[in-house]
Amino acid sequence: GENVEQHPSTLSVQEGDSAVIKCTYSDSASNYFPWYKQELGKRPQLIIDIRSNVGEKKDQRIAVTLNKTAKHFSLHITETQPEDSAVYFCAASMGNFNKFYFGSGTKLNVKP
């Protein structure tokens, strides 16, 4: 089955700095890569996603890049704010109606 690895496990940045979280996946058949933000005791919230036919996608302060050859994808958050503090998960899926395999999570702490 698919194996998704995520690094780092914790990340502390100063408000206004950028944060980068990286994931690798093992199955070349995976073609959909969402990123989720999860606050304690709540459901994961989709913040950005990318499909394998695209190398980069941006939404305001958040961007995701995908390198299919190397099987890795990254989340970039610029101009971080304290409200960005949460746990972030990457995931990989083989697309249409398919199950997700999650990375181990990154706890992001943005210090004011």
Partner 1 sequence: GAVVSQHPSRVICKSGTSVKIECRSLDFQATTMFWYRQFPKQSLMLMATSNEGSKATYEQGVEKDKFLINHASLTLSTLTVTSAHPEDSSFYICSAPGLAGGYSYEQYFGPGTRLTVT
- Lay out the site mask for partner 1 across 20-39 (x = CB under 8 A, - = otherwise): ------------x-x-----
**Shortest Cβ 102–partner 1 spacing (Å):** 5
Matching residue, tokens 């100063």: 14
Q: Is the peptide bond before 8 cis (omega within 30 degrees of 0)?
A: yes
Q: What is the DSSP string of 36-85?
A: EEE-TTS--EEEEEEETT-SEEEETTEEEEEETTTTEEEEEE-S--GGG-
**Shortest Cβ 79–partner 1 spacing (Å):** 26
Residue from 22, 44, 76, 78 in contact with partner 1 (CB under 8 A): 44
**Shortest Cβ 33–partner 1 spacing (Å):** 10
Does position 7 bind partner 1 by CB under 8 A?
no
User: Largest alpha-carbon pair distance within the chain?
Assistant: 41
- Residues found near partner 1 in the complex (CB under 8 A): 1, 32, 34, 41-44, 46, 49, 51, 89, 93, 95-105
